[in-house]
Amino acid sequence: MTAETGNRIVISAVTQIAETSGIAPGMTLADARAVLPDLLTLPSDGRADAAMMERLARWCGAYTPWVSLDGLDGLWLDVTGCAHLRGGEQALLDDLLDRLGGYGFAVRGALADTPGGAWAFARCGENRRVIPRGQAKEALASLPVAALRLDPETLSKLFRLGLRRIGDLYAVPRISLANRFRLEVVQRLDQALGRTAEPIAPRSHERPFRVRIAFPEPIVLASDIAEALKLLLQRLCMRLRQEQYGCRRLEFQCHRVDGNTQRLTIGTARPMRDPKQLARLFAEHLGQLDPAFGFEALVLAAEGVEPLGATQEVILVGADLADAASGENGTAPLIDRLGNRLGFERVQKLLPVASYLPERAYRAVSASEAGVPANISVDGASAAASSTPIASWPLDKPRPARLLRRPERIETISLLPPGEPGMPPAVFLWRRIRHKVRAAEGPERLTPEWWRGDAGWAKGARDYWRVEDDIGRRFWLYREGPLRAGVPVAWFLHGLFA
């Protein structure tokens, strides 16, 4: 592992094999390469390391609830009162280290009366050592002073004075230690020996947004389930309100007496914590539940939460009410309802895309993601505010109101003399209905975008015509490819004008 400090690249962590070849953390990359030319290095990722430690700390919660991070590469576990659960202190330590070793971590550990003592043994002493109660002083005496968590500067001063081991410090009067090194050495020594308290702050425990209700008797009736859900929603929303969150995704788990678990999930377009609205979203799905012999427990969990500040509740009257109902806040509940019923991918907004190809001119995105712009009027006053690359489509070219997903081949009869092969047909047959062309407008030539390999446009440019049949139906036809003598002209229908 390498890390960049200033303008040097420094080795920050090494594998055991590299260590035996003489690579040590703190070397520059160039030096390390000189020692071992085929050294493999990876840039270190501090954030991922921290996240991993966080996960490890959570995992260690299996041994004790009192876990805390120690710097970047250590963990404190306060196992007071927990050791008997694993068969004693030594057994607990072995079990913990074996398991972590089994996951592929290089890990050292020790157990002592004090955090300082455990730290000293884990880093500098014998691995997997359990220091019996009250014997810390003797056990620590043989460890180097580096085991006391001191500054490098203080350490070098101690070295110069010939104080190499912790035992050497016992003989020195405290007052002179304090004079020379301020309180640091004394304090660390006291912490290691248990003369001063060193509290460990446990990781703050994240309470998941999850509420549960269990019944003495299983419930079967739909009304009971709905009522229970209402209760759960109220409790959950109360917590969400206290912690200023809103949920984006909710899961309702119903545990049936026979061990079967049924789940209902709803999503919302924006963070929400209104129990009434959420209940409405669930209401449509409650029918899917099959209670059979009844549900014994119901769990409601917010799986996706987002911060949501407190909102001012105002009493709206008349015009204010209408204002509040319009715009984004107004349509979001509707999108939620439809999205939960039909699937959010089916509630769409269409965004313009800058492309000459008709079928690429727009992109459908889920309305819950696009956000609903508020109060847009036809006059395009807010067109500038739009963040899409193009605000709208050019209006000078006629475009149909409906576009066929795949252009359809039409059979044609051209009454024109063969000298004008590019003209639209006089009669064509589309889906078994005959259309007599009475008027035509065009052509508008569209060429494929060469930077995209578009299979539909493999034959090259298309000439689009707008034609009107004898009763006034208007179609968007095109002719494909270059005109060549002897090659039959292929016509396709691509769109329907209104």
**The pair of three-digit structure tokens given for residue 4, joined into one six-digit string:** 């960049």
d(CA 49, CA 112): 27
CB of 497 to another protein, least distance (A): 7
| Angle of CA points 43, 15, 101, to nearest 5° | 115
CB of 271 to another protein, least distance (A): 18
Residue in 434, 458, 460, 487 binding another protein, rule: CB under 8 A? 434
CB of 228 to another protein, least distance (A): 26
Would you say 148 and 188 are in contact if contact means Cβ atoms under 8 Å apart? yes
**493 strand-pairing partners:** 408, 477
d(CA 292, CA 262): 12
Residue in 83, 407, 462, 479 binding another protein, rule: CB under 8 A? 407
Query: Interface with another protein includes 133 (CB under 8 A)?
Result: no
Nearer Cβ to another protein, position 52 or 325? 325
Query: Interface with another protein includes 360 (CB under 8 A)?
Result: no
Would you say 467 and 424 are in contact if contact means Cβ atoms under 8 Å apart? yes
Report the chain's C-alpha Rg in angstroms.
Answer: 37
Q: How many other C-beta atoms can be found within 10 angstroms of the C-beta atom of residue 218?
A: 17
DSSP 385: G
Residue in 90, 277, 331, 414 binding another protein, rule: CB under 8 A? 331
> Which runs of consecutive H residues, i.e. helices, occur in 115-221?
115-124, 136-141, 152-160, 166-171, 174-181, 184-193
CB of 485 to another protein, least distance (A): 20
Query: Interface with another protein includes 495 (CB under 8 A)?
Result: yes
Query: Interface with another protein includes 459 (CB under 8 A)?
Result: no
**306 strand-pairing partners:** 246
Q: Taking CB under 8 A as the criterion, which residues in 376-405 touch another protein?
A: 376-378, 380, 386, 392-393, 395, 398-405
CB of 234 to another protein, least distance (A): 24
Residue in 206, 471, 484, 486 binding another protein, rule: CB under 8 A? 471
Nearer Cβ to another protein, position 61 or 371? 371
Would you say 418 and 488 are in contact if contact means Cβ atoms under 8 Å apart? no
Residue in 77, 185, 219, 372 binding another protein, rule: CB under 8 A? 372
Query: Interface with another protein includes 334 (CB under 8 A)?
Result: yes
CB of 402 to another protein, least distance (A): 5
Cis preceding linkage at 443, omega within 30: yes
Which positions from 284 to 323 touch another protein by CB under 8 A, shown as an x/- string?
Answer: --------------------------------------x-
Query: Interface with another protein includes 466 (CB under 8 A)?
Result: yes
155: enclosing H helix or E strand: helix 152-160
Q: Strand, coil or helix: what is 262?
A: strand
Query: Interface with another protein includes 364 (CB under 8 A)?
Result: yes
Class of residue 342 by CB neighbours under 10 A (exposed 0-12, middle 13-18, buried 19+): exposed
Query: Which span sits near another protein by CB under 8 A: 112-120, 160-168, 220-228, 324-332?
Result: 324-332
Query: How many chain residues are in contact with another protein, going by CB under 8 A?
Result: 78
Query: Interface with another protein includes 127 (CB under 8 A)?
Result: no
d(CA 197, CA 170): 19
Query: Interface with another protein includes 326 (CB under 8 A)?
Result: yes
Q: How many other C-beta atoms can be found within 10 angstroms of the C-beta atom of residue 206?
A: 7
Nearer Cβ to another protein, position 37 or 318? 318
Residue in 406, 417, 419, 453 binding another protein, rule: CB under 8 A? 406
